[in-house]
Amino acid sequence: MEIMKRPILGITMGDPAGNGPEITVKALSKSEIYKECRPLVIGDAKVMQKATKIVKMENIKINPVTRVEDAKFEHGTIDVYHLELIDMDNLVMGKISSMAGEAAFQCVKKVIELAMAGEIDGTVTNALNKEAINFAGHHYPGHTEIFAEFTGTQKYTMMLAYKDLRVVHVSTHVSLREACDDVKKQRVLDIIRIANQTCKNLGITEPKVGVAGLNPHSSENGMFGTEEKDEIIPAIEEAKAEGITIDGPVSPDSIFPQARGGWYDIVVCMYHDQGHIPLKLLGFVYDKRKGGWDTVEGVNVTLGLPIIRTSVDHGTGFDHAGDGSANELSLVNAIEYAIALSKYSVKK
C-alpha cells in the first residue's frame, strides 16, 4: 500500500503503570504493521523509552512529536505524540495511581480530538484501569463511554471479535438487573442495524445476523420470561422488514457454537457477559505449566461512533507489568481491525 494511502492510526499507550507501553513496542517492532498503516503512539515519550528497555528492544528509536505531520512512520522508529504526563520518579509499575489514571485519560481524550479533527484515520486503545481514571476524577465505566461522550454519540455498542466470531451487546457496563431492564425493542433494533452495517463495512456483502435470547432457551414461548415476546421478537421482525437477514431469538447456549461454525457473521447479545465469555474462552489461553497466558487474542470495537475505535480485549496486566512478558497479539488484532475498517474512510 502506498504510504499516503496507509491509514494513520493513533494508538494510546494505556495506563503507563500497566502493560500497554510494553505490548505497543512489541507490536510496532513488526515490519508488516508499517506496510499496512502509519502508527502514531499517543502518550509520554519517556514512558515509551522505558518500555523499549523492559522488552529488551532498545534498538527501536522513540521519536517524540507534537504534530502528526512531524512523524516519520518508519519501521524501527516509534513516533510518539508526546504529552508531558508522567513524573518517572513517581511511576510505580503495577500500581493504581491518580497520575497514571490521569495520563491514560488524557491519551484517550487527545486521540479522540485528533480523529475528530481528521488528522488521523482511526484510533486504537490500550487498556486503562477504571479505578485509576476514577481516582483521577474522571468518572466513566470505561473507554466506550468516554468515546461516546467526546464524540457526541447516543447510539453505540461494543463489538468483540476473535477471528470470524463477532458479538455485539445491547448493554455492557451495568448490573445484571439493569441489563435485563435494558432489553427494549428500540435498543435491540438499533444494535441489530449497527451490527449489520458493521459486517458490510468489513466487506461481508450479505451478512447474517443472529440474535441471542435473554432467558434460558429464549424463554420457551414465555415459560421463563416475556422479554423475547415483548421486546426481542418485535425488533427482529422490524429488522427483517428492512431487508436484514436475521435469525432469532436463538437459545443463548446454542447460538455461539453455530456462529463459530459460520452460521452467523455476528451475534447480538443481550448483556456484557453473554458476549464476553465465549469470546474470551476462545481467545484467552492460560498455560498452568508456564504460570501465565499463552495466548491473549481478540479485539474490542466501539460501533456507532463517527470515528474508528478498536481496542485490546484485555486489562492492564498489573500483575506482570514491567517484566516484559505481556503478550501483544490482542493489540496486533486491534490494529489489523482498524486497518480493515479504515479502508472505507482513509484519506486519499
The count of C-alpha atoms lying within 13 angstroms of the C-alpha of 179, restricted to the half-sphere facing its C-beta, is 18
Q: What is the rounded average pLDDT of the residues 73-90? A: 96
For residues 246 and 244, give the distance between their C-alpha atoms in angstroms, rounded to a whole number.
6
Domains in the chain, start-ordered, CATH in brackets? 3-153+305-342 (3.40.718.10), 157-279 (3.40.718.10)
pLDDT band (50, 70, 90) for residue 348: very low
What is residue 201's predicted lDDT score, i.e. its pLDDT?
87
What is residue 345's predicted lDDT score, i.e. its pLDDT?
53
Which residue has 465469555 as its cell numbers? 277
> Contact 231/211 with Cβ under 8 angstroms?
no
Mind listing the pLDDT tens digit for each residue in 115-163?
Answer: 999 999 999 999 999 999 999 999 998 898 999 999 999 988 889 998 8
Residue 262 falls in which region: left (phi positive, over 0), alpha (psi -120 to 50) or beta: left
Question: Over the chain, what is the mean pLDDT?
Answer: 92
Query: For the chain, what percent of residues have pLDDT higher than 90?
Result: 78
Mind listing the pLDDT tens digit for each residue in 303-320?
Answer: 999 999 999 988 898 988
* C-alpha grid cell, residue 133: 481514571
Mind listing the pLDDT tens digit for each residue in 28-52?
Answer: 999 999 999 999 999 999 999 999 9
* C-alpha grid cell, residue 288: 498452568
Decide if pLDDT at 100 tops 90: yes
Q: What is the pTM of this model?
A: 0.85
What is residue 347's predicted lDDT score, i.e. its pLDDT?
40
Q: What is the DSSP string of 228-286?
A: IIIIIHHHHHHHHHTT-EEEEEEPHHHHHHHHHTTS-SEEEESSHHHHHHHHHHHHEEE
Torsion over CA of 197, 297, 315 and 48, rounded to 10 degrees?
-100
pLDDT band (50, 70, 90) for residue 294: low
Mind listing the pLDDT tens digit for each residue in 206-246?
Answer: 999 999 999 999 988 888 899 999 999 999 999 999 999 99
